[in-house]
Amino acid sequence: QVQLVESGGGLVQAGGSLRLSCAASGSTDNINVMGWYRQAPGKQRELVATISLGGKTNYADSVKGRFTISRDNAKNTVYLQMNSLKLEDTAVYYCNADSLPWVVPKRIYWGQGTQVTVSS
């Protein structure tokens, strides 16, 4: 099993920055892709960014150029640097990880979420 714990959320003004962290524990040697998702009130959970073991990144169009995802495999931690924050970025942000291709059935893990609130 893998446990994911997010930290770094909080209240920031529009245009400000915030850095989220997600630390994995447990069977961390089975972790493949890691990422961040978010869910705003009344909306479905959406992809923010993902990063592979080798460092290949993927971003939602809404955050491209403003957010940067990174990971430290030795620390089993993934980060999300959030710059130029907008009001629409307000959401609960969830850390995510999946298992390596040879792990069957495929495993998907989620953190408990951390609140990010952007004020005007």
Give the residues across from 46 on adjacent strands. Answer: 38
For 99, the token pair is 């298992």
Give the residues across from 106 on adjacent strands. Answer: none
One digit per residue, the tens of pLDDT, for the chain of length 120 reads 899 999 999 999 999 999 999 999 999 999 999 999 999 999 999 999 999 999 999 999 999 999 999 999 999 999 999 999 999 999 999 999 999 999 999 999 999 999 999 999
Strand pairing category for 2-7 and 67-72: unpaired
Q: Cα separation of 86 and 83, whole Å?
A: 9
Give the residues across from 6 on adjacent strands. Answer: 22
For 115, the token pair is 């609140």
Q: Cα separation of 28 and 101, whole Å?
A: 14
- 53 vs 29, 116, 117, CA distance in Å? 11, 26, 30
Give the pLDDT of residue 17.
Answer: 98
